[in-house]
Amino acid sequence: MNIIVTGGAGFIGGNFVHMMVAKYPEDHIICVDALTYAGNLETLEPVKDKPNFSFVKADIADRQAVYEIFEQYKPDIIINFAAESHVDRSIENPEIFLRTNIMGTAILMDACRKYGIQRYHQVSTDEVYGDLPLDRPDLFFTEETPIHTSSPYSSSKASADLLVLAYHRTYGLPVTISRCSNNYGPYHFPEKLIPLMIINAFNNKQLPVYGDGKNVRDWLYVEDHCEAIDLIIRKGRVGEVYNIGGHNERANIDVVKTILSALRKDESLITYVTDRPGHDQRYAIDPTKINNELGWLPKTSFNEGIKKTIQWYMDNQDWWEHIISGEYKRTN
């Protein structure tokens, strides 16, 4: 099979490409990525010379470029990871989020209609459900929870989800959608909470915690997310949404303190800073549907995953130092 993975030079897409290239040597994995600030060819170093891997630099919102890729590679499956993914950047400048996350998704699906595919999979987020109150630990997001977004980022992802479901109903496109909680692990861009805190702590720099640090995120090790997506594209029911999460809720301040303790650094590095506007309070996924229907369960506990992640950042300083220095853009 020919499998197009968009956004494969980013964090989750990169981990997914590594897994797929190793797991399915008979399949051809084609990474399509525009190499924005978040895309990094160094993330694809482990697979770049594999015979079942190809890389194409292209923008998913460029219709002609996307159609040419479909003509050349005749994909059977598309998995769309490509997105502008950072909430804070969407608050600063929403427009690019609308272009990539909404128009890019529509153009990819138009190509799927024009050329025909077996499956289009949209990688979405739990942020489309908005947030849950901190004082109601009994509440979780299910696939039936209404869409209720807070940020330009989550609004753009929700818009894309609605389009995906509309293309299924109106044109019969064989789609699936997954909505995952916060990922962490190797190759995570150092603007996001966990990698930023690891690197700042390592460098004895201040750790900026938004507001009072009590906001809760539901953390999932990235490889568990990748395995869930692989299951959904093979066994998931067409037209369905699957939530992905592993019941790993943590307050931000506790995550930060865990990182400081693992690196034997002092908590005086913590600095409370102005809160994010519209900051979602709590995310918590109910993964019952994917557990029961597809038998998926996460393999990595938070304690194990955070140790592996910190170790990865210690062992791969070149990867993040090249980002901080800007050197990674010289190869892109």
- List residues with catalytic annotation: 126-127, 153
Among 21, 29, 34, 198, binds ligand NAD (CB under 6 A): 34
Among ligand NAD, ligand DAU, none, what does residue 296 contact (CB within 5–8 Å per kind)?
none
Pick out residues in 68-107 that bind ligand DAU (CB under 6 A). 85-87
Measured in degrees and rounded to the nearest 5, phi and psi for residue 322 equal: -65, -30
Choose between 37 and 265: whose C-beta lies nearer to ligand NAD: 37
Question: How many residues of this chain interact with ligand DAU, rule: CB under 6 A?
Answer: 19
The tally of CA atoms less than 13 A away on the side-chain side of residue 67 is 7
Interface with ligand DAU includes 37 (CB under 6 A)? no
Rounded CA-CA distance 322/306 in Å is 22
Interface with ligand NAD includes 123 (CB under 6 A)? yes
Q: Output helix, strand, coil percentages for the chain, rounded to the nearest 5.
A: 45, 20, 35
Q: How many angstroms separate the first and last alpha carbons of the chain?
A: 27
- For 93, residues 6+ apart whose C-beta sits below 8 A from its C-beta are none
Among ligand DAU, ligand NAD, none, what does residue 239 contact (CB within 5–8 Å per kind)?
none
232 by DSSP, 3-state: which? helix
Interface with ligand DAU includes 125 (CB under 6 A)? yes
Among 104, 152, 287, 298, binds ligand NAD (CB under 6 A): 104
Pick out residues in 158-187 that bind ligand NAD (CB under 6 A). 180, 182-183
Binding span for ligand NAD by CB under 6 A among 78-86, 129-137, 162-170, 226-234:
78-86
Interface with ligand NAD includes 6 (CB under 6 A)? yes
Give the other-Cβ count within 10 Å of 75's Cβ: 25
Rounded CA-CA distance 101/83 in Å is 5
Give one word for 258, left, alpha or beta, with left for phi > 0 and alpha for psi -120 to 50: alpha
Binding span for ligand NAD by CB under 6 A among 27-35, 131-139, 231-239, 262-270:
27-35
Burial class of residue 274 (count of CB atoms within 10 Å of its CB; 0-12, 13-18, 19+): exposed
Choose between 104 and 270: whose C-beta lies nearer to ligand NAD: 104
Binding residues for ligand DAU, rule: CB under 6 A, are 85-87, 125-127, 181-182, 192-193, 196, 208-210, 215, 217, 252, 276, 283
